[in-house]
């Protein structure tokens, strides 16, 4: 049993060292903008990749079929690109909190409200949303309880 603990501890130390010293993106509070940019660029890259394939395959189509193909391809690309972006944010959040860093994420909801989401190493999180006439804050406690506060003007 001691050999298993020593081996697992060595593996964890190796992964932490690689994360801090080898990777080009140090996961600290100052670099969360860069990590967010990379996640968004990956989502955009997926969208443009799907759209470029659609444009290449639509060279033989004409008229209404061409419009339907491009519209369907644009919606599919947007959908899959958003999934890729959210998946990357999930991976970055998990890695950052696993190695003991707080992970921040800023963005805008579909409704136009700005948000700031903070994930802590204790597996808790807090999210602030701010709109034109309201502000909301929700988060979790270490016990798993969730709280939400809404303030309207």
Start-to-end CA span in the chain (Å): 60
pLDDT in tens, 39-86: 888 888 888 888 888 888 777 777 787 888 888 888 888 888 888 888
- The residue among 75, 73, 81, 71 whose CA lies nearest residue 47 is 81
Same domain, 109 and 137: yes
State the burial class of residue 32 (Cβ atoms within 10 Å of its Cβ: 0-12, 13-18, 19+). Answer: buried
Same domain, 113 and 153: yes
pLDDT in tens, 101-148: 888 888 887 777 788 899 999 989 999 998 888 899 999 988 889 999
Same domain, 79 and 60: yes
Q: Is residue 61 part of a domain?
A: yes
Same domain, 70 and 118: no
Query: Is a pLDDT exceeding 50 seen at residue 27?
Result: no
pTM, entire model: 0.69
């Amino acid at each position: 049993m001691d050999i298993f603990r020593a081996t697992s501890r060595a593996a964890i130390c190796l992964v932490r060292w690689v994360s801090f010293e080898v990777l080009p993106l140090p996961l600290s509070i100052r670099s969360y903008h860069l990590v967010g940019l990379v996640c968004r660029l990956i989502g955009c890259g997926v969208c443009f990749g799907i759209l470029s394939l659609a444009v290449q395959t639509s060279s033989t189509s004409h008229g209404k079929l061409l419009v339907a193909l491009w519209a369907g391809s644009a919606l599919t690309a947007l959908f899959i690109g958003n999934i890729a972006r959210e998946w990357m944010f999930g991976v970055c959040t998990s890695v950052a909190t696993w190695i003991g860093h707080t992970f921040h994420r800023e963005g805008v909801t579909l409704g136009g409200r700005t948000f700031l989401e903070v994930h802590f190493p204790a597996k808790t999180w807090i999210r602030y949303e701010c709109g034109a006439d309201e502000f909301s804050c929700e988060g979790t406690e270490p016990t798993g309880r969730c709280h939400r506060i809404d303030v309207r003007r």
